[in-house]
A and B are shown apart, each in its own frame.
Chain A
Amino acid sequence: MESLTAPPARAPLLIGENLGLRYGLHGSFHGSSRGGSAAQVVDAVVGVSLTLAEGEILAIVGANGCGKSSLLRVLACLETAPRASGRVEYRELRASARSVAHRLAAVRALVPQRPEATAAFSARQVVRLGRFSVGPDESAVDRALGDVGLLARAELPVNTLSGGERQRIAIARAFAQLDRGGVGGGVLLLDEPFSGIDPGEVARIVTALRMRARAGAVVLTSHDPGLARAIATHAMVMKEGRAIAFGAAGEVLSAKLLSEAYRSPMREVGDWIVPDLTASQSTERGRMRS
């Protein structure tokens, strides 16, 4: 690892220690115990540790299937033993008589890679669902819709919106969930939040994320290292379920580390990190000659 821990400036909001996630080959709920053969299980996340403090935005990058989404699910406490291992701790989680699911909903919200809304709800109704555990607050719903630029289309049925707009509605639902009277808070966990969203709207959502991260924190996965470097304060590079680097975004998101993570040459162009196509072509030519 390049850097084992990123020293947080403030008290950590989220601590993950030695996190692991093991899937059965067919997504079985008891994959680790079924059959008992090592060949039947896949280690999606192995020994990942991280801390995240207020005001921080962490970008997790890595190749397809490296365990980014799985790590996000573990951090969201959606995976439990025996599949998941390690310790996830949210500083703001309060002891109360309410169920764990309710209490967790007040301190973290997840936007999955493929959000769904099967019922014929309006966009506003979907965003309102985010308030299920934390109590109704129509102004929080309005703020969330405004932040993703969909206030004017809030009454339309969500299944008539485009894929990118539905993605923005899912983000708005998470915003509404963690809205505390106009102040953001808690930890937003976003899996590929910008997929299918045009650059103008990406800028709008990034602004909203930064605003909300002031009183909370954000963890997002991204396939775009340049965008990740532009948004995030911290970054983690994952490869085969492990964190090969974790630290300040400017240091961790280097062409060298990303070339290792993607198993393909990358190069820096200004602030961006892009695939080095000339190197790929020469490698390919060399391969063909031999």
Chain B
Amino acid sequence: MRTRGFIVLGVAIVVCALMRSAIGPVSVDGTIKLALSMPAGEILAFRLQSVLSAAMLGAALGLSGLALQSLLRNPLASPFVLGVSSGAGFGVAAVLAGAYLFALPAVTFGGEVGGAIAGALITLAIVAWLGRARVSDGGDHGSGASDPTALVLSGVIVGAIFSAATMLLEQLVPHGLRGDLLSWMAGRLPEIPARSALATVCVSVAVGWIALASQAGALDVASLSDDEARSSGVDLGALRRKLFLVGGILAAVAVAYAGPIGFIGLIGPHIARKLVGSRHGALVPASALAGAALLVSADAVRQWIDLGTGRLPVGVVTALAGGPAFLWLLRSGRWNR
């Protein structure tokens, strides 16, 4: 099952990457049209860079979603649903607005990442606490599970508060920066990614991947109740601190790079589970690959949509496709196993 699952994921990524590389504007009789043709030279290099950019970002979101689902023992968890992306977005907006208001030097990508990480980790701590507090009131006795819907509701509300706070900050900055922030908040893959930014995402994915893969055995045991996991020798406190950092930081880096992109972090790990099973030795790489395949395919789809107003932000595509998938998961109860 596992080998077949990885073959499916590998084929999906290659097909999506080919699609994304082949779709693009061509000049036919003096008019620019979208067409399917494999470019060469600089254009191919440019598009392959876009594929790499989307794949790495998708992998970051897939791994972040898996870490958060394991951390909170909740299959509905993901950076977007829990409001972590909104918190990270607020962090970035706060850094940008702060730099403008206090006439500080221009903010580097590193500064944006720092703001995003602070925002993401604070939001995650608040939402996890709210979910746990609710369960404790219900008499939780060593199971460690959080109430899935209470947690998601907390995430939605905390996310809405941070989104509103971000909009408030947008009002304080000049028109140009406001426009940038607005389109970035919709989830926008950079057309020409800065090398340093892309490198930061790649390194974060590599570190997060290794951190999660090194805990694969403990993550398997942690799917039992808390008491059973601890009785079997898992240091749950240490494991959860790692998951908190990996889940929060990967989501933050993704947001700093491309804005809040929804549902990849939720759907990616679910597709991975269907394809390779629940053991984390396979689930960690599969979640990264599924996230990558999903975001590259969303990026390919948005190339086809030309409304005459420029490319759609990729976040619009992922929300339009991922939102119904989330509702299906919720309605079918498939998240429950």
Q: Write the residues of chain A forming the contact surface with B, with a CB cutoff of 8 angstroms.
A: 26-28, 69, 73, 76, 78, 99, 101-102, 104-106, 108-121, 125-126, 129-130, 132-134, 159, 170, 173-174, 177, 189
Chain B 104-131, CB-CB to A under 8 Å as 1, else 0, gives 0000000000000000000000000000
B233 and A114 contacting across the interface, CB-CB below 8 Å: no
B200 at the interface (CB under 8 A from A): no
CB-based nearest A residue for B140: A27
The chain B residues found within 8 Å of chain A, CB to CB, are: 73, 75, 133, 136-137, 139-143, 145, 217-218, 220-221, 223-225, 227-228, 230-235, 273, 277-279, 337
- Asked if B143 and A116 make an inter-chain contact with CB atoms under 8 angstroms apart, the answer reads yes
Given A99-B235, A120-B273; A112-B223 close (CB under 8 Å) = no
10 inter-chain pairs at a CB distance below 8 angstroms, sorted by A residue, are A105-B233, A110-B231, A112-B227, A116-B224, A119-B220, A120-B277, A132-B217, A132-B218, A133-B232, A133-B233
Q: Which 4 A-B pairs have the closest CB atoms?
A: A133-B233, A105-B233, A119-B278, A119-B223
Which B residues lie within 8 Å of A99 (CB)?
Answer: 233, 235
Q: Say what secondary structure dominates the interface of chain B.
A: loop
Please give me the residue from chain B that is nearest to A177 by CB atom. Answer: B232
| Known contacts A28-B136, A114-B143, A116-B143: A102-B224 contact under CB 8 Å | no
A115 near B221: Cβ-Cβ < 8 Å: no
| Bound: A121/B137 CA distance, A | 30
Q: CB-CB < 8 A to B133: which residues of A?
A: 26
- Rounded to whole angstroms, the CA-CA distance of A109 and B233 in the bound complex is 9
Contact A26 B137 (CB under 8 A): yes
The answer to whether residues A159 and B141 also contact, given A115-B225, A132-B217 and a CB cut-off of 8 A, is no
Given A115-B225, A129-B220, A170-B228, also A120-B337 (CB < 8 A): yes
Which residues on the B side are within 8 Å of A120 (C-beta)? 273, 277-278, 337
Give, as a whole number of angstroms, the nearest-CB distance from B237 to chain A.
9
Give the complex CA separation of A103 and B145 in angstroms. Answer: 26
Task: Choose from B73, B142, B218 the contact partner of A118 (Cβ within 8 Å).
Answer: B73
Instruction: Give A73 to B228 CA distance when docked, in angstroms.
Output: 11
Question: Which chain B residue lies CB-closest to A24?
Answer: B136
Closest to B138 in A: A27
Given contacts A76-B227, A76-B231, A116-B145, 18 further A-B contacts (CB under 8 A): A26-B136, A73-B142, A78-B142, A105-B233, A112-B143, A112-B228, A114-B225, A116-B225, A118-B145, A120-B277, A121-B278, A125-B220, A125-B279, A126-B224, A132-B217, A132-B218, A174-B231, A189-B231
Find chain A residues with CB under 8 A from B145 CB: 116, 118
- Return chain A residues, CB-CB under 8 Å to B137: 26-27
Question: Could you tell me if B221 and A132 are in contact, using CB atoms closer than 8 angstroms?
Answer: yes
CB distance from B239 to the nearest CB of A (A): 10
In the assembled complex, which residues on chain A have CB atoms less than 8 Å from the CB atom of B273? 120
Q: Give, as a whole number of angstroms, the nearest-CB distance from A117 to chain B.
A: 6
CB-based nearest A residue for B223? A119
Taking CB atoms, residues of chain B closer than 8 Å to A119 are: 220, 223, 278-279
Find out whether the CB atom of B228 lies under 8 angstroms from the CB atom of A101.
Answer: no
